[in-house]
């Protein structure tokens, strides 16, 4: 209780001191601290807001580029489609079609416009002529104009195609499975119009979209409902043949569709990963060899982990640019078995030499004894790094999978080291409390290379995995410390990417 | 008067006026801490100045969940220990005879002014002084002290014993002097 009171007295006691004198002595150093901290904050804010600004501007630019292109293409195509439809119909186009096209030309929701037409269920008359506009699941309009018996036009065509909606609803255009190109169609049907191989065609309840390459993009030239033209029916084979002839010989309206890939896409990723750590010590002067031996025997590298937020800009060619902010933590373990000896005296039987013949007698007395105590001093040291990565990548698509590689630099904004290390066998240093810092506050550039495997798990959401190698070639220790310390990390990271503008 | 919370916030934004206010407000309290570890006034001032520099450098790391005073006190203690490690031999005069220690009567402290006690603590050898302060006033265990001062645990115990013995002698003589003078 009294000790507690004594302790409290000491805690509450205030000594006489002149604060002005203390402030006067520390003010120059405080100014330096304020300046460096403010600069660091400004630097960080600059990168953070700069990065966000660049990302925002890039997003807007990409967005406007993509939107502009689609609108222009669709509007142009729709105009062409209208004209062509009128020509083919050789008369007044069916009023509902015209209305539909006009609405589409107004630049409104294309899906909505065409679904209105498609919502009417009905049976398909495979023996009649048909003509309409249809839309796929992806919302792009295609002209559907089936002169199934080689007749070019009539009001009947329009009548028949009004009942064609069920096939349109089943339209798989825009998905890989239901697309068939013109050369592929030619391989399936011989010159007499017989189907050579119908196993490669989509299922009966799907719609075949016939595409051909044109002007750097896939162009839908025809949409064919396979249910309407049963491939097992002999008559339908000739229908298909006629259709093919019609498609290849007659200048049908060509509509670009949204199967065309946009030039750029933007992605935001949350990443995290872990790595194995390889640390390389080297001596800056000849005296450092003992210190290296000492530190290697007392320190063990553990793992490194990192996490961050990335922004990536990807061109349709497969090349991408990635930046963001990343935090990395490298862990080490410090184990030091400290031993000390102390001499204690105990009361016991001792021997005393009594003559030159070394004869002894036993006496009671104080016997000095050496007591050795060993204890383990274990600490976990960390180097925490804040980096801005700049990575260039290339990837190729294989179905829903994307495989590629990424490489680039990581610019270190700051590094903070904590823990304990040995300076000599009897001197443990607290890393963060040293007046002369052991480690640098910034390690400059490091380099990273890795593979990149990405798979779509939800629309616009990808899961990625990247085995990677990161080399940190710059010395972690300060110039005043005589051991150089460098790192290489090998590990992997997983990421969740939200894609915009794909 | 500006609240402590606001003062901390302003210091975290590196406002110079707030930093000066912090020095004015907490210098006397922290000076007591540094005086307990230093052997003279000049050294205590050096430790105090170093402590403030470290406080301003690390104030961003302060979390308002704990006591700000305790945080600053801890920094001052670390600065003092740093100074001691550099300039003093903490292993000096390790004492082995621990059986002849007679417990000090702590009540004697209450009869003396705190300033006088600080003076007595300052007169202890550096190692004893550090161990005494860390154990009796800051409340660290011998194991913690052994790690902080890089000495053995038994050395910490024996230095504390020795420190208490010396203090006892000095307190008794001081008490005697006081009684004589009155």
Report the first-to-last Cα separation within chain B, whole angstroms. 43
Q: Which of B82, B114, B154 sits opposite A373 (nearest CB)?
A: B154
Q: Is the pLDDT of residue B67 over 60?
A: yes
Give the residue from A429, A25, A20, A13 showing the smallest Cα distance to B46.
Answer: A25
Distance from CA of B68 to the nearest CA of A (A): 14
Q: Where does residue B76 rank: exposed (0-12), middle (13-18), buried (19+ CB within 10 A)?
A: buried
pTM exceeding 0.80: no
Interface of A with B in 410-429 (CB under 8 A): 426-428
* Per-residue pLDDT at A331: 94
Distance from CA of B121 to the nearest CA of A (A): 11
How far, in Å, CA of A333 to CA of A348, rounded? 44
Buried-state track A121-134, b at ≥16 Cβ within 10 A, e below 16: eeebbbebbbbbbb
CA neighbours closer than 13 Å in the CB half-sphere of residue A61: 9
Q: List CB contacts (< 8 A) between B14 and chain A.
A: 33-34, 37-38
Q: Do B23 and A377 touch (CB under 8 A)?
A: no
A19 interfacial to chain B (CB closer than 8 Å): yes
How far, in Å, CA of B145 to CA of A223, rounded? 84
Q: List CB contacts (< 8 A) between B56 and chain A.
A: 30, 33-34
How far, in Å, CA of B133 to CA of A257, rounded? 81
Q: Do A26 and B31 touch (CB under 8 A)?
A: no
Average pLDDT of the residues in B127-149: 86
Select from A5, A7, A17 the residue whose CB has the most chain B CBs within 10 Å, as the one to mutate to test that interface: A17
Q: Do A23 and B23 touch (CB under 8 A)?
A: yes
Q: List CB contacts (< 8 A) between A29 and chain B.
A: 53
Q: Do B82 and A6 touch (CB under 8 A)?
A: no
Q: List CB contacts (< 8 A) between A436 and chain B.
A: none
DSSP letter for A419, please. S
Q: Do B154 and A30 touch (CB under 8 A)?
A: no
Q: List CB contacts (< 8 A) between A441 and chain B.
A: none
* Per-residue pLDDT at A249: 53
- Token pair for residue A77? 């195509």
> Is A380:A333 a contact under the CB 8 Å cutoff?
yes
Nearest CA in chain B to A369: B96
* Per-residue pLDDT at A410: 95
How far, in Å, CA of A187 to CA of A196, rounded? 8
Q: Do A377 and B147 touch (CB under 8 A)?
A: yes
Residues forming a β-bridge with A367: A346
Q: Which of A5, A22, A377 sits opposite B52 (nearest CB)?
A: A22
Q: List CB contacts (< 8 A) between A427 and chain B.
A: 150
Q: Which of A15, A377, A433 sits opposite B35 (nearest CB)?
A: A15
Distance from CA of B37 to the nearest CA of A (A): 13
B118 interfacial to chain A (CB closer than 8 Å): yes
Q: Do B106 and A344 touch (CB under 8 A)?
A: no
* Per-residue pLDDT at B52: 93
Nearest CA in chain B to A375: B152
> Is A247:A219 a contact under the CB 8 Å cutoff?
no
Distance from CA of A347 to the nearest CA of B (A): 12
Interface of B with A in 72-101 (CB under 8 A): 78, 82, 94, 96
ipTM of the complex: 0.78
* Per-residue pLDDT at A387: 94
DSSP-based three-state secondary structure for B89: coil
Nearest CA in chain A to B21: A19
B168 interfacial to chain A (CB closer than 8 Å): no
* Per-residue pLDDT at B112: 63
How far, in Å, CA of B72 to CA of B68, rounded? 6
* Per-residue pLDDT at B2: 79
Q: Do B152 and A342 touch (CB under 8 A)?
A: yes
Q: Which of A11, A15, A34 sits opposite B28 (nearest CB)?
A: A15
* Per-residue pLDDT at A163: 39
pLDDT in tens, B87-136: 655 554 434 333 344 444 555 555 567 777 788 888 888 888 888 888 88
Q: Which of A15, A34, A344 sits opposite B14 (nearest CB)?
A: A34
* Per-residue pLDDT at A217: 46
How far, in Å, CA of A359 to CA of A299, rounded? 53
Report the first-to-last Cα separation within chain A, whole angstroms. 73
Determine the longest span between alpha carbons in chain B, in angstroms. 56
- Token pair for residue B53? 């520099």
To 10 degrees, the CA torsion angle through B80, B81, B86, B92? 120
- List chain A residues with pLDDT less than 70: 1-3, 5-6, 41, 62-261, 340, 501-502
Q: Where does residue B23 rank: exposed (0-12), middle (13-18), buried (19+ CB within 10 A)?
A: buried
How far, in Å, CA of B64 to CA of B68, rounded? 7
């Amino acid at each position: 209780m009294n000790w507690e009171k004594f302790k409290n007295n000491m805690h509450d006691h205030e000594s006489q001191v002149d604060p002005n004198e203390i402030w006067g002595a520390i003010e120059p150093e405080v100014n330096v601290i304020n300046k460096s901290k403010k600069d660091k904050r400004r630097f960080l804010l600059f990168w953070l807001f700069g990065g966000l600004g660049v990302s925002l501007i890039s997003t807007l630019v990409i967005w406007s580029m993509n939107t502009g292109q689609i609108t222009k293409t669709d509007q142009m195509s729709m105009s062409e489609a209208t004209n062509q439809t009128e020509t083919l119909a050789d008369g007044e186009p069916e009023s509902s079609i015209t209305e539909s096209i006009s609405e589409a030309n107004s630049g409104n929701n294309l899906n909505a416009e065409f679904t209105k037409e498609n919502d009417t269920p009905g049976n398909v008359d495979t023996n009649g002529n048909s003509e309409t506009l249809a839309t796929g699941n992806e919302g792009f309009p295609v002209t559907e104009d089936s002169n199934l018996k080689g007749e070019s036009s009539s009001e009947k065509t329009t009548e028949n195609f009004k009942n064609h909606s069920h096939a349109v609803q089943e339209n798989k255009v825009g998905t890989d499975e239901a697309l068939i190109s013109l050369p592929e169609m030619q391989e399936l049907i011989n010159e007499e119009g017989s189907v050579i191989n119908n196993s490669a065609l989509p299922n009966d309840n799907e719609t075949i979209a016939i595409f051909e390459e044109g002007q750097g993009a896939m162009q839908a030239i025809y949409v064919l409902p396979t249910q309407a033209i049963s491939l097992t029916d002999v008559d339908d084979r000739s229908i298909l043949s006629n259709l093919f002839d019609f498609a290849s010989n007659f200048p049908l309206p060509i509509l670009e569709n949204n199967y065309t890939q946009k030039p750029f896409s933007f992605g935001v990723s949350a990443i995290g990963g872990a790595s194995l750590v390889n640390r390389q010590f080297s001596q800056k002067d000849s005296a450092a060899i003992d210190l290296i031996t000492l530190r290697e025997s007392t320190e063990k590298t553990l793992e490194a982990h990192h996490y961050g937020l990335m922004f990536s800009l990807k061109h349709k060619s497969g090349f991408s640019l990635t930046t963001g902010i990343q935090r990395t933590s490298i862990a080490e373990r410090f184990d030091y078995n400290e031993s000390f000896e102390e001499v204690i005296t105990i009361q016991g039987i001792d021997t005393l030499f009594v003559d030159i013949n070394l004869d002894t007698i036993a006496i009671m007395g104080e016997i000095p004894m050496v007591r050795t105590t060993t204890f383990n001093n274990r600490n976990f040291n960390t180097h925490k790094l804040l980096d801005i990565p700049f990575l260039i990548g290339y990837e190729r698509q294989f179905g829903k999978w994307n495989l590629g590689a990424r490489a680039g630099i990581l610019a270190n904004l700051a590094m903070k080291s904590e823990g304990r290390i040995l300076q000599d066998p009897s001197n443990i240093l607290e890393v963060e409390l040293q007046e002369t810092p052991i480690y640098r506050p910034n390690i400059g550039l490091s380099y990273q290379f890795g593979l990149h495997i990405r798979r779509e798990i939800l629309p616009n959401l990808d899961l990625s995995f990247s085995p990677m190698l990161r080399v940190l070639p710059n010395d972690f220790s300060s110039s005043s410390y005589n051991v150089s310390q460098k790192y290489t990390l090998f590990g992997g990271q997983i990421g969740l990417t939200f894609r915009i503008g794909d | 008067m500006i609240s402590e919370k606001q003062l901390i916030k302003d210091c975290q934004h590196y406002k110079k006026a707030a930093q000066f206010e912090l020095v004015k407000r907490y210098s006397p309290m922290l000076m007591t801490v540094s005086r307990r570890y230093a052997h003279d006034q000049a050294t205590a001032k050096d430790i105090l100045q170093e402590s403030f520099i470290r406080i301003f450098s690390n104030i961003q790391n302060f979390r308002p969940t704990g006591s700000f005073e305790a945080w600053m006190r801890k920094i001052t203690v670390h600065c003092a220990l740093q100074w001691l490690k550099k300039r003093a031999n903490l292993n000096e005069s390790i004492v082995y005879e621990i059986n002849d220690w007679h417990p000090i009567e702590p009540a004697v402290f209450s009869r003396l002014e705190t300033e006088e006690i600080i003076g007595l603590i300052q007169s202890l050898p550096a190692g004893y002084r550090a161990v005494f302060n860390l154990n009796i006033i800051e409340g660290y265990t011998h194991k913690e002290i052994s790690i902080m001062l890089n000495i053995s645990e038994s050395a910490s115990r024996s230095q504390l014993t020795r420190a208490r013995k010396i203090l006892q002698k000095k307190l008794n003589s001081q008490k005697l002097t006081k009684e004589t003078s009155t």
